[in-house]
A and B are shown apart, each in its own frame.
Chain A
Amino acid sequence: MLRIPCPFCGPRDHSEFSYLGDATVTRPEAEAPLDEWFGYVYLRDNPRGRHREHWHHAQGCRQWLVVERDTLTHEILGALPAREGSPAAGPAAGKDAAE
């Protein structure tokens, strides 16, 4: 019965969200070696402690979030919109901000 601090809706019960998984992996470039792609699609770490995960506020604002969660204590340490939290979004988001 976790509570996730949705940056758009405020603290909400986790039952409003659906869980996807590891948010630390980044989609490779289209022509990246197959091994990199296999890693992205299939290989996941199972860290003990702090972890960043994708959660979808499916029964709320429909936004994808990157939630930081302690896998040991289940404590939720924070949540960011996936747009900002995704490493893939880094340069592009920075450019938009600069413009």
Chain B
Amino acid sequence: MSQPFRLPAGGALDRSRELRFSFDGRDYRGHPGDTLASALLANGVRLLGRSFKYHRPRGLFSAGPEEPNALVELRSGARREPNTRATVAELYDGLAAASQHAWPSLRWDVGALNGLAAPFIPAGFYYKTFMGPTRRAWMVYEHFIRKAAGLGRAAREPDPDRYEKRHGFCDLLVVGSGPAGLAAALAAGRAGARVVLAEQDFRLGGQLLSNGERVGGKSGPDWVAAVEAELASLPNVEILTRTSAFGLYDGRVAGLVERVADHKPEPEHGEPRQRLHLLRCGEIVLAAGAIERPLVFANNDLPGVMLASAARTYARRYAARAGTRAVLFASHDAAYAELPALLEADIQVAAVIDPRPNGSASVRELARDLGIEVRSGQAVARAHGGRALVGVEAAPFEAGTGAGGRWTGPADFISCDLLCVAGGWTPTLHLHSHSQGKTVWDPRLLTFRPGENPQGHRSVGACNGSFTLSTCLAEGFAAGAAAAAACGFEASAPALPATVPEPGAEAEAEPLALFACPKPASRGGKAFVDIQDDVAVSDIGLAEREGYRSVEHLKRYTTLGMGTDQGKTANVNGLAVMAELRGLTVPEVGHTTFRPPYTPVTLGALGGREVGRAFRPVRRTPLHDWHLRNGAVMVEAGLWLRPRYYPKPGEGLFEAQNREAKHVRRAVGLSDVSTLGKIDVQGPDAAAFLDRVYCNTFSSLPVGKARYGLMLREDGIVLDDGTTTRLSETRFFMTTTTAEAAAVMAHLEFLLQAVWPELRVNVASVTDQWAGIAVAGPRSRRLLEKAVEGCPVDDAALPFMGVAEGRIAGVPVRIFRISFSGERAYEVNVAADHGPLVWEALMEAGKELEVIPYGLEALAVLRIEKGHVAGPEIDGRTTPEDLGLGRMVSKKKADFVGRRLLGREGFDDPARPRLVGLVPTDGRTKIAAGSILVGQRDLHPPIEKLGHVTSVTWSENLGKPIALAFLSGGRERLGQKLYAAYPLRNRIVEVEVTPSCFIDPEGERLRG
């Protein structure tokens, strides 16, 4: 009872084992060696899906990766994968597949009503109808349209599988393992070159697995097995099956995706599901084969209409009958070679319909010997059937000059359940084109062939437009040997084995340039060019009439070739139809650009292991563990993890931040500032260099003193700020902000190497070598006095902006008297490894002084209270004057970065927004960061924008919200009442303009 369409013998199947699988909940059986497609076919399942737009019933169309129709969902739960081509899904025991895009079921699909309305839903219908009148209409209808048109559903859970990346090298990459690819790998492999042979299928051999040809006295599959055995025995050859070369990139890099475990229920322990290979190749031989081109006629999408080569592949490789009674519709000689395979599979062939008035005598003879009627000078006018093909109308036909022709007589009905279409072959040019290879139109083959390849990649075999076995082998041998020679190996092409082609395979007569049959005499039946995207011949006509005539416009207007199959079976026919309409030839119309990937690649494979916490590196300060042990809530700051606040029981962020900020102004606190960028600047010209780097002067800085510096870009905008200390005549210790540390380092290196290489200065990043601890608050000196040995820290010995070197807990430390909070404060630097020891010693020494640790939030509160600028203010748009730091800019220095453009007119505009402070006039309403400043409460346009709010906080020390802002006119508006508007949340706050420094403007607390 099972597998009614399975042949009793033959095929590359392991019949000793049965695999169980399900489709739409029904159980079936197959064998190892089957794809989901071949197993479904063997079980007589022919309806596999509903089409994208019209919900028309669809079945298998091909037997390979070009499949437009048979898209299914595989697996379930977190591993559910939509839009998988059944033709490349390998069968495994327990596989569960489902049709997609049909409701309530595949057989009874409500959406099929779209099919009845098809005449009213041409290309562009949705946009024209629903987007036309108002934007609002589209927003309402889009949801329903997206639901009606579409494909499968992605999994909603995180992907449980692992993916890997491999960076590899080889002398020669051979893409494809048909006769040409095998020959190339063999020639280069024997010469000793490191060869990678990539095959997308799980079996080597390509067309040799099913086309009945003989090589070297062996059957195709036997010859393939012998070559595979030899290649496997060569240590310099790597064979990658289940591996698609999906793209070629600059520098001879190939992207390949290896489906390591897709043929198993789930990956084994430790095994990746897929592996991305980035392969750097010396030479590349493309043996990617060709894809059969269908013929276009009314209802050509019915289940039962199939590429002729696919029916042959199912019969011979998978021992599955694609039907019981077939018609072959072929416009060229070689298609007749598919007939023996159909007969072997016990498929009755009702007729060959050949639109050529006289095909070659030899193939007509072949058909006659097989007892098959040939209807020369006829074409298929229409296919008939509901959910499956029941017959075709064939009618006398006269070819025209372009893509089509005209009917010359009444149609005749032939009953059949399989219609094999054979319009010729399209070489797979994708990888050739990825590497900027040109394409040329071959009028004999009626298709594009590879032209010159600027990177020197060699196309051989069918992808080069060579379709006879002996030529494929000869080209493969020659290219493999030449590639090996180019890599420095002594190589020669092996002797060509004797080949016996399938009768009819070597064409004699010219093929007919038929791409799309004309409309049948009576109405009815859409003729599809792109089956996956439901693009019909009539849609191309509409595109032409509406002016979307260039191929790129045609593609985007009709979606021709835009599906998951990228129009592999559709594009050439579409171009030919457009060429006919425009009265041009196909090469004059041209084709759209081929872009990677050739076949779909999962995002998982591209992401590899760089997901979740491994997405990017995490930087931790030397004090990280202490923060965690002491309850810090951490926050990401760039790559860094920093303590945000240290909550006490019952405290949230707001309470903790207020407590910490208030405590620092009252007593003393420690904060981890290890993340600041630190750069060691050394050399005889170090002072001169810093004079050119900063807008203020450093050459006048005495040894042992620190100075706040402001760095500009050449365009006069502030780049970064920080404190730099002179340690000796020739040595400075620079600090940068956490965020800009890397950029400043690269900037300094650029200046020293590319702009002023004559300066004798070296710079080295020492950010990671030092732990930094800020000790801030009125009791900070007392704390240090208790902790520091070896140097006095009183105000005489260590004044504001002074530096001292001593020891804490026996460890050498450098102490800078600098402040970000506006309180008396010090920054203790210590070798990174000793950081925790010194921090703990400071905490211990500060116990009776009530020392606390404080986090990033309190740090921000303190700096806003003090009016110190930070990232929100140094935002890549502000000048020193804008920041209220104009007085820092040296008037004396002859040159520094940014000096010249700082002097341009626009920067002197009195209307430029300048830094000010803001408080709400009611003393309590929060101001939102990002608010715009306006002069009126009424927000109806037009409205003049006066500035914007950059930093906001609640100041527990002042008991009110405060903000920093840039305001046109700046300090001239002190005392004015304005409005801070946040239209997104419909909030508006009346504010008063204040100086930007809210606490201790005279700096008495700072200097002590």
Q: Is the CB of B754 within 8 A of A64?
A: yes
A residues in contact with B756, CB < 8 Å? 88
Q: Is the CB of B250 within 8 A of A86?
A: no
B residues in contact with A44, CB < 8 Å? none
Stretch at the interface among B197-205, B445-453, B893-901: B893-901
CA distance A77 to B253 in the complex (A): 17
With A27-B755, A83-B757 known as contacts, the answer to whether A20 contacts B900 (CB < 8 A) is no
Q: Is the CB of B251 within 8 A of A58?
A: no
CA distance A22 to B862 in the complex (A): 42
CA distance A75 to B895 in the complex (A): 38
A residues in contact with B899, CB < 8 Å? 30
A residues in contact with B894, CB < 8 Å? 30
Cβ-defined partner of B746 (8 Å) among A30, A38, A42, A56: A56
A residues in contact with B757, CB < 8 Å? 82-83, 86, 88-89, 92-93
Q: Is the CB of A34 within 8 A of B749?
A: no
Q: Is the CB of B253 within 8 A of A30?
A: no
B residues in contact with A88, CB < 8 Å? 754-757
A residues in contact with B251, CB < 8 Å? 1-3, 74
3 shortest A-B CB distances, which residue pairs? A30-B895, A1-B253, A82-B754
Q: Is the CB of B758 within 8 A of A92?
A: yes
In this assembly, does A46 line the interface, its C-beta being within 8 Å of a C-beta of chain B?
no
Cβ-defined partner of B901 (8 Å) among A18, A37, A81, A82: A37
CA distance A8 to B894 in the complex (A): 35
In this assembly, does A51 line the interface, its C-beta being within 8 Å of a C-beta of chain B?
no
428-456 of chain B: CB within 8 A of chain A? 436, 454
The minimal Cβ–Cβ distance linking A21 to chain B, given in whole angstroms, is: 11
CA distance A31 to B797 in the complex (A): 43
Q: Is the CB of B454 within 8 A of A73?
A: yes
CA distance A54 to B251 in the complex (A): 19
The minimal Cβ–Cβ distance linking B705 to chain A, given in whole angstroms, is: 27
Cβ-defined partner of A64 (8 Å) among B249, B715, B753: B753
275-292 of chain B: CB within 8 A of chain A? 278, 280
In this assembly, does A32 line the interface, its C-beta being within 8 Å of a C-beta of chain B?
yes
A residues in contact with B454, CB < 8 Å? 73
Q: Which single residue of chain A is at the shortest CB-CB distance from B167?
A: A13
Q: Which single residue of chain B is at the shortest CB-CB distance from A66?
A: B754
With A27-B755, A86-B755, A92-B758 known as contacts, the answer to whether A40 contacts B714 (CB < 8 A) is yes
Mark each residue of chain A from 7 to 19: 1 if its CB lies under 8 Å from any CB of chain B, else 0: 0000000000010
CA distance A92 to B756 in the complex (A): 9
Interface residues of B (CB under 8 A from A): 249-251, 253, 278, 280, 436, 454, 714-715, 746, 749-750, 753-758, 894-895, 899-901, 903-904
The minimal Cβ–Cβ distance linking A32 to chain B, given in whole angstroms, is: 7
A residues in contact with B755, CB < 8 Å? 27, 86, 88
In this assembly, does A41 line the interface, its C-beta being within 8 Å of a C-beta of chain B?
yes
Cβ-defined partner of A56 (8 Å) among B253, B714, B750, B895: B750
The minimal Cβ–Cβ distance linking A27 to chain B, given in whole angstroms, is: 5
A residues in contact with B280, CB < 8 Å? 1
Given contact pairs A1-B280, A73-B454, A88-B757, enumerate 15 new A-B contacts (beta carbons under 8 Å): A23-B754, A27-B755, A30-B894, A38-B901, A40-B714, A41-B714, A54-B754, A63-B749, A74-B251, A82-B750, A82-B753, A86-B754, A89-B758, A93-B757, A93-B758
Can you list 22 contacts pairing A with B, beta carbon distance less than 8 Å?
A: A1-B278, A1-B280, A20-B750, A23-B754, A28-B900, A34-B903, A34-B904, A37-B900, A41-B714, A41-B901, A54-B750, A62-B749, A64-B753, A64-B754, A81-B753, A82-B753, A82-B757, A86-B755, A86-B757, A88-B755, A92-B757, A93-B757
The minimal Cβ–Cβ distance linking A51 to chain B, given in whole angstroms, is: 15
CA distance A94 to B382 in the complex (A): 82
Q: Is the CB of A64 within 8 A of B895?
A: no
The minimal Cβ–Cβ distance linking B351 to chain A, given in whole angstroms, is: 53
Q: Is the CB of A34 within 8 A of B754?
A: no
B residues in contact with A23, CB < 8 Å? 754
Q: Is the CB of B753 within 8 A of A83?
A: yes
The minimal Cβ–Cβ distance linking B250 to chain A, given in whole angstroms, is: 5
B residues in contact with A64, CB < 8 Å? 749-750, 753-754
A residues in contact with B249, CB < 8 Å? 1
The minimal Cβ–Cβ distance linking B907 to chain A, given in whole angstroms, is: 12
The minimal Cβ–Cβ distance linking A87 to chain B, given in whole angstroms, is: 10
Cβ-defined partner of B754 (8 Å) among A18, A41, A83: A83
The minimal Cβ–Cβ distance linking A83 to chain B, given in whole angstroms, is: 4
B residues in contact with A1, CB < 8 Å? 249-251, 253, 278, 280
Mark each residue of chain A from 69 to 82: 1 if its CB lies under 8 Å from any CB of chain B, else 0: 00001100000011
B residues in contact with A63, CB < 8 Å? 749, 753
The minimal Cβ–Cβ distance linking A36 to chain B, given in whole angstroms, is: 9
CA distance A62 to B679 in the complex (A): 14
The minimal Cβ–Cβ distance linking A33 to chain B, given in whole angstroms, is: 9
Q: Is the CB of B715 within 8 A of A41?
A: yes
CA distance A28 to B756 in the complex (A): 12
